[in-house]
Amino acid sequence: MSSADLANLSDKLMLSTVVLYIVAMVAYAADLGFGRRRRAAVEAPAEARVLVGTDGEPVADAPPSGPQDAPAERPKADWVRLAVLLNVLGWGAHLGVLVSRGLAADRWPWANMYEFLTAIAFAAVTAYLVVLWRYKARFLGAFVMLAAVVALGVANIWLYNSVGPVVPALNSYWIAIHVTAAIIATGSFTVAGASTILYVLKARQEAKIAAAGGPAPSEDDAGFLARVPSSEALDRLALRVTMFAFPIWTAAIIMGAIWADEAWGRYWGWDPKEIWSFVTWIIYAAYLHARATAGWKGRKAAILSLVAFAALLFNFFGVNYMFSGLHSYA
């Protein structure tokens, strides 16, 4: 295939990716909103049944018989399976976007803002699929899919660039090392940020329930938050993903300094991108340090994590459009 054909294939795969992610997001949201509620309605009567033996002692109840329970379980499983299937298909199309564009340009496909944001969205979806496989965290699916759809929408509407050569400073093998590390870390931090936002919402709901002193509201009254894990579980998940992403972000900064010495003759020049990458690193380091040494967890740690995530977003969007510097070619 010619470069033009590969570039056209990349654009078509992008459309397929967005459509698949949107439908997957809807399926994840349907599971979050209805899947467990239907199961609870079925399981509640089964849990209430207790058999009594001839000596008056309770004995284990036998599994419910009859086909009446099977149809009610199927909607939950179908929503999840559909969401994950579409998610994986979208991930495959997304990978095709990057591969075909890289082949069309004969270089690594993250040399401008369109390609960089596309790659970050891919890294975020990849990180989510790993978390889904490792921790069964399907409750994050709708939120990660929403972030990916918004990112790809921004990339295609406002940041799109045709396939072309790069400036000499980017024509280096370091783009495959430094930028790749930054992409992986940013995608992982996005998943941690989604978990932290859910933690804040869940912790607020739990605090209101505790202050009221009454029974927990039903799922109909509590909304989707009744169908996500406890705030403690969300807090731990955010910490684990951040612990994975932070060393990669550290390596990206170090390798960026080495690349800067080769390209511009100095390791550090207080360029706006360099400054805000370092600021982001400091805040995430403070978050991990506070949790490890001062025992921070919960609300205080969540606030620091969200501040770090805000700095990360500003480093990507704000710095590139509000300041001029050596990284302005992106």
Cβ(161)–Cβ(114) under 8 Å?
Answer: yes
CB 315 within 8 A of CB 280: yes
Among the listed residues 84, 157, 169, the one whose alpha carbon sits nearest the alpha carbon of residue 118: 157
Q: What local confidence, expressed as pLDDT, does residue 123 receive?
A: 97
Burial call 168-185: b when 16+ CB within 10 Å, e when fewer: ebbeeebbebbbbbbbbb
DSSP states along 5-42: HHHHHHHHHHHHHHHHHHHHHHHHHHIIIIIHHHHHHH
| pTM, full prediction | 0.84
Query: Which of 95, 74, 87, 91 lies closest to 27 in space, CA to CA?
Result: 87
* Cβ(235)–Cβ(302) below 8 Å: yes
How far is residue 240's CA from residue 232's CA, in Å, rounded to a whole number? 12
Report the length, in residues, of the chain.
330
pLDDT of residue 218: 56
- Torsion from C-alpha of 31, 84, 130, 21, nearest 10 degrees: -90
| Residue 51 three-state SS | strand
From first to last of the 330 residues of the chain, give the pLDDT tens digit: 888 999 999 999 999 999 999 999 999 999 888 765 444 333 444 444 444 444 545 544 444 444 444 444 444 457 889 999 999 999 999 999 999 999 999 989 988 889 999 999 999 999 999 999 999 999 999 999 999 999 999 999 999 988 888 777 777 888 889 999 999 999 999 999 999 999 999 999 888 888 877 566 655 555 778 788 999 999 999 999 999 999 999 999 999 999 888 878 888 888 888 899 999 999 999 999 999 987 888 888 999 999 999 999 999 888 877 766 656 655
